[in-house]
Amino acid sequence: MKITTRDRMIIGAADLLKRRGMHATSIREVVRHSETPRGSITHHFPGGKKELLEAAIKYAGEEVSGPLTQLLAAHGPIKGLELFVGAWRKTLIDTSFDAGCAVLAVTVEQYTSDQRSEADQVLERQIHQQLLSQAHEIFCGWQRLISESLHNSGIDSARADSLALMTIAAIEGSVALCRAARSTLPLDRIWEQMRNLLEHEVV
């Protein structure tokens, strides 16, 4: 299927979020990174940077949830998560530890526009809260996927929820540590501990 100009902009924005964070994901940088006409932004995203970021975050969330759903369904929680972690390891290595989680990037930076009037700053805070809410919903969606898989493997629902949340925090945190260390060692060590815990819990 042909990738549209709008899709290229969304994918480019998501990639910039992974690599540089929200501040650096400006309209100008997205146009340059995605090699798309600047005039297309107004056409495809009349809401400007906010609308583009919302689409990019949604795309980034689905980029994780799609493969995660397939891996858990095909292999169960432990092997499925191990393959998922393996995909993260590959991403880190292939990007020379330059790419992290686009959804996480939204939670650690404050949204800012190109204008800094008092009224704009109020609007920026409102937009940032909206983006945080969107990121929260995506994290909750990932948690539900893992929790359901764990529950289907015999773990009590409440415990499955807790383990799923712990798993997400462990993977997200270890990816950040890997980028700082320029090594997959944090991911490997943390996943080893998580796998041991899950193997003990799964019936």
Over residues 155-165, the pLDDT tens digits come to 999 999 999 99
Q: 1 pLDDT exceeds 70?
A: no
What is the percentage of the chain residues whose pLDDT exceeds 70?
95
Over residues 93-102, the pLDDT tens digits come to 999 999 999 9
Position 61 confidence tier, pLDDT thresholds 50, 70, 90: very high
3-state secondary structure labels for all residues of the chain? CCCCHHHHHHHHHHHHHHHHCCCCCCHHHHHHHHCCCCHHHHHHCCCCHHHHHHHHHHHHHHHHHHHHHHHHHHHHHHHHHHHHHHHHHHHHHHCCCCCCCHHHHHHCCCCCCCCCCHHHHHHHHHHHHHHHHHHHHHHHHHHHHHHHHHHHCCCCHHHHHHHHHHHHHHHHHHHHHHHHHCCCHHHHHHHHHHHHHHHHHCC
Q: What is the CATH number of domain 48-201?
A: 1.10.357.10
